[in-house]
Structure 1
Amino acid sequence: MNLVQVLSLAGSLAVVASSSLPSNTSVVDTHLLARKSSCFPAVGFRTPSYVPDSTQGWWCDPYTEYAFMGFSYAVDACQSLPQLRREFKDIRETYNGRYVRIYSVCDKKGFYDNVITAAWENSLGIHALIWFGFDGDYKWKSRKDSLFNTLYSNPKAKFVIRAVQFGSEPLFDWVLSPSELTSQVKAAKSKLASLGIKVTVSEMAYGFQARGGAQSVLDAVDFLDIHMLPFFSHQASTAQNSWPILKKDQDWLTARMGGKKMYWSQNGWPSTSYPGVEPNSPAAIADVANEKAYYQLLESRCTDFKYLGKGGVGWFWHIYSDEQAPGYGLYGWDGKTKFKFQPRTSC
């Protein structure tokens, strides 16, 4: 059975399954369910028991993706495969996550193979990351080579790795000049073209602005992974009043992206402050109430996300747990969620 047949069968099964839905569910809704479930990694889509021959017709159109995408997920703990499986399953089944955006790095050999395995088994797409770190060294080059080798050697890679990010914040941290980063993006696009894996940069609007706009980078990327951390803004007050700060950065990028897709990939408000995570405004408070309020703000703006930029804008929650980035996690140190989190994936 080829991929087209599998997708057709999936759509048919979705329509059949609709017979058990409440009587007030419309025919349009069941057709929408079937359509949305026929591409990866749409909510309701499950990876098949075998690896398809081609990615043709596999990926969902990115211009149909908006609202909640999934979680940013730090890997410096080099999580075991069982832990990746367990937490990726939670992201998918509890929160309808469609993607995991990798943050930080694990240099352990074979780690990305485990990420790919856990993602495949849980029908999650991955934004992989070439991590620059904060030490000013050149380890990112060997990390890039290692990741690319995995992407070519693992037969499932091109079916779950949606993109490779250069990050985090290479422009803001002055790791590379705009011209150097542009060259790296173009070289990576050429290297990964046969796999259909996209290339992006993980950066905040100010990182581009501080480097003269870095338009060559924006022109080179396939889409953009944007950092939205309004807690650090000099204009910050409460989380619930952050929308003007967010909208200003989004509008600046929209005007320069030429209609390319954009995601808020590193996006959140901390529940605690500490050296390195401190506000630039005395009115900005790091506590659980504001972290929750920031989530509620994102939820209340679902329609805005639907129409921000071409095809809407998707957002990730930064980050999965406080163990990965203290204060930012949905899950606290006790392993429990800090507040009710039930984000919409459409509206």
Structure 2
Amino acid sequence: MPSSVRLPVVLALVVAGLIAGLWTLLGRPVAMPPSPLAQGEKLPCVSYAPFRDGQSPFQKGLVISEAQIDEDFARLAKITSCVRTYSIEMGLDKAPAIARKHGLTMLLGIWLGPDVDRNRVELDTGIRLAQENQDVVKAVVVGNEVLLRGEMSATELASTIASVKRQVAPVPVTYADVWEFWERNKGLTENVDFVTIHILPYWEDLPVSASEAGPHVDEIRQRMAEAFPGKEILIGETGWPSAGRMREEALPSPSNQARVMHDVVALAKRQGYRVNVIEAFDQPWKRRSEGTVGGHWGIIDADARMPKFAWGQPVEDYPGWRMHIGVGLVVVAGVFASAFAGGRKREDGLQTRDWLAVAGIALFGGATLGAALSAMPLESLGFFGWLRNGLLFAVAVASLIVMPAVIGRGQGLAPFSVALDARRWAVSSGAAIAAALMLALAAVAVGSVAFELVFDPRYKDFPVFPLTAIVAAVAAPMLVRRAERDGAGLGEVIATWGLLVAGVYVPLNETLSNWQAAWFGTLCLILSFTLWRVQAVQRKG
């Protein structure tokens, strides 16, 4: 084998091995503690919303068919003995009869909000259903987080609860809200038979990590029991998302969701209190208001309608890891082939440092492109969501093809104007134009995400997988040669400083315990430095 071929072949094999090893390691199932449920035992209760993909509670006139609810309850009867509903509209007035068919009991929810007429319909129907189905309806939940949303006063709510309580007796009545709002409105306990609190460690003002979520839930429940002596405390909502952005140390993932469920159910059994898990099925519609994470709280997948984990069994965080390896190997082959093609007419051939830069592109691009592909269905919502993430993926692919060829041609980075100013095309090489275009696209891709994460971050994802491929590809030429073109201007200056600020601000704002934010911040800083180098070269003339 010629020496000019031996080095890139060896590097390609090493990079391929690293990618395969990385995803084999990340793909290993995460061990779970022993099942907190005995053989044949079911979850005490789970929250149920009937909406599937394309359906939402905001669709006027939508009525969920009895067949759909029946199918859902048939699945839920295998894993729980109780369902909690939140409303009686959109077909849910049929839920008690269907629950009876499948041997389920219910915590029947009556939705309250600012619309007085809608409240009256909910109240009248909910009261009737409770009266007619006392064998199924084990409690009525009058209102859900209406105080949190600020849609009713505590006085008005207390009066409404008292009215329902008189009419549905002997069925117990409660109200459900985030635990802090019970602390602020202790007088409500006079009108309820038991207190229903929501404890969602991920959404706390100070987010709690998955490893501490179970103890946190137990601690808050004990705190509320001490605050309301003589009243039973039902944990009406607790759970963990399986996908979405980190909040400080709180990482959504399949294994973290399973671990939190194991811990909470085990603690509830050991301490002897009731708990309701949120939620039964993933609810895609919640992604519009809460981002990716909002649609992935279910313990059953929205599409396959299958449980996401088995109690006591290991859980995979990256079920597509084998595909990630396959994509990575294709990327490695493509990157090195592109560099070979770019350097065919180069008299001095590619030097060792050129191949090392190409290997870096192959490593980072190959390690992340498959994961970017897997993340797209999770993080893309609607036409514009798919368009945006599709464009990020397309830029990542393009950068992995173009930039190795640029290095192969012996071309360094070039400022935006080389690609964006038509007057420069005639005096610039194709490789220079391609390098400038990819640098501009990288600045737009990373900059647009940075803008969101600086000014409106709460529900925004960190699309680090496609951005890693992009940044690695456009930064690689900086390692081997200086840009030889002048013309850097205000665009590079704005992008440099904007990305510098974002690279510092985002990780600090999210806290350094959020490794997704730290990863994104690092990408911003690398690209900022790359753009600064283009300007520095231009000033040296």
2:84 paired residue number: 101
Matching residue within 132, 135, 144 for 2:123: 144
Once residues 208 and 124 of structure 2 are traced to their aligned partners in structure 1, the CA distance between those partners, rounded to angstroms, is: 43
Over residues 308-328 of structure 1, what are the superposed CA-to-partner deviations in whole Å (9 max), with x where a residue is unaligned? xxxxx1112211111365110
> 1:187 and 2:173 equivalent?
no
State the Cα distance separating 1:220 from its structure 2 match.
Answer: 1.7
Over residues 83-123 of structure 1, what are the superposed CA-to-partner deviations in whole Å (9 max), with x where a residue is unaligned? 3223223222x22x2211003x3524x641x2111111122
Matching residue within 270, 277, 281 for 2:241: 270
Secondary structure in 2 matching 1:69: coil
> 1:70 and 2:30 equivalent?
no
2:72 paired residue number: 87
2:271 paired residue number: 305
Identify unmatched segments of 5+ residues in structure 2: 1-39, 56-62, 287-294, 314-541
> 1:289 and 2:255 equivalent?
yes
> 1:327 and 2:296 equivalent?
yes
Change (3 A) 1:339 1:197: same
Whether the aligned pair in 1 keeps the contact of 2:201 and 2:209 (CA below 8 Å) is no
Structure-to-structure mapping, 1:143-292, within 5 angstroms: 143-152=122-131, 154=132, 157-193=133-169, 196-209=170-183, 213-273=184-244, 281-292=247-258
What is the TM-score when the length of structure 1 is the normalising length? 0.66
Whether the aligned pair in 2 keeps the contact of 1:268 and 1:294 (CA below 8 Å) is yes
Once residues 158 and 319 of structure 1 are traced to their aligned partners in structure 2, the CA distance between those partners, rounded to angstroms, is: 24
Whether the aligned pair in 2 keeps the contact of 1:75 and 1:106 (CA below 8 Å) is no
Whether the aligned pair in 2 keeps the contact of 1:229 and 1:269 (CA below 8 Å) is yes
Once residues 158 and 237 of structure 1 are traced to their aligned partners in structure 2, the CA distance between those partners, rounded to angstroms, is: 38
Secondary structure in 1 matching 2:44: strand
Structure in which a larger fraction of residues adopt strand = 1
Secondary structure in 2 matching 1:203: strand
1:59 paired residue number: none
> 1:337 and 2:307 equivalent?
yes
State the Cα distance separating 1:303 from its structure 2 match.
Answer: 4.4
1:56 paired residue number: none
Change (3 A) 1:299 1:127: closer
State the Cα distance separating 1:221 from its structure 2 match.
Answer: 0.6
Over residues 222-279 of structure 1, what are the superposed CA-to-partner deviations in whole Å (9 max), with x where a residue is unaligned? 1122212110124334212123422332122101333222222211111233xxxx76
Whether the aligned pair in 1 keeps the contact of 2:83 and 2:106 (CA below 8 Å) is yes
Once residues 98 and 245 of structure 1 are traced to their aligned partners in structure 2, the CA distance between those partners, rounded to angstroms, is: 26
Amino acid at match of 1:259: G
Once residues 49 and 146 of structure 2 are traced to their aligned partners in structure 1, the CA distance between those partners, rounded to angstroms, is: 17
What is the TM-score when the length of structure 2 is the normalising length? 0.43
> 1:130 and 2:104 equivalent?
no
4+ long deviations beyond 6 Å: none
Whether the aligned pair in 1 keeps the contact of 2:50 and 2:69 (CA below 8 Å) is no
Secondary structure in 2 matching 1:158: coil
Over residues 271-318 of structure 1, what are the superposed CA-to-partner deviations in whole Å (9 max), with x where a residue is unaligned? 233xxxx76x42111222221121121244244332xxxxxx111221
Change (3 A) 1:207 1:289: same
Amino acid at match of 1:71: V
Q: Which one has the largest radius of gyration? A: 2
Whether the aligned pair in 1 keeps the contact of 2:225 and 2:232 (CA below 8 Å) is no
Secondary structure in 1 matching 2:227: coil
Amino acid at match of 1:131: W
Change (3 A) 1:297 1:317: same
Secondary structure in 1 matching 2:242: coil
Whether the aligned pair in 1 keeps the contact of 2:99 and 2:106 (CA below 8 Å) is yes
Identify unmatched segments of 5+ residues in structure 1: 1-42, 45-66, 307-312
Once residues 278 and 49 of structure 2 are traced to their aligned partners in structure 1, the CA distance between those partners, rounded to angstroms, is: 9
Change (3 A) 1:316 1:341: farther
Change (3 A) 1:68 1:111: closer
State the Cα distance separating 1:125 from its structure 2 match.
Answer: 1.1
Amino acid at match of 2:103: S
Secondary structure in 1 matching 2:220: helix
Over residues 193-225 of structure 1, what are the superposed CA-to-partner deviations in whole Å (9 max), with x where a residue is unaligned? 2xx22110011211223xxx3121123211122
Whether the aligned pair in 1 keeps the contact of 2:239 and 2:297 (CA below 8 Å) is yes
Secondary structure in 2 matching 1:162: strand
Change (3 A) 1:102 1:254: same
State the Cα distance separating 1:137 from its structure 2 match.
Answer: 2.8
2:428 paired residue number: none
Whether the aligned pair in 2 keeps the contact of 1:171 and 1:208 (CA below 8 Å) is no
Higher relative contact order (CA 8 A, sep 6+): 1
Amino acid at match of 1:207: F
Amino acid at match of 2:297: Y
Once residues 92 and 209 of structure 2 are traced to their aligned partners in structure 1, the CA distance between those partners, rounded to angstroms, is: 39
Secondary structure in 1 matching 2:152: coil
Change (3 A) 1:198 1:237: closer
Amino acid at match of 2:89: D
State the Cα distance separating 1:165 from its structure 2 match.
Answer: 0.8
Whether the aligned pair in 2 keeps the contact of 1:238 and 1:290 (CA below 8 Å) is no
Say what the alpha-carbon RMSD is for the aligned residues: 2.6
Structure-to-structure mapping, 1:103-118, within 5 angstroms: 103=86, 105=87, 107-108=89-90, 111-112=92-93, 114-118=94-98
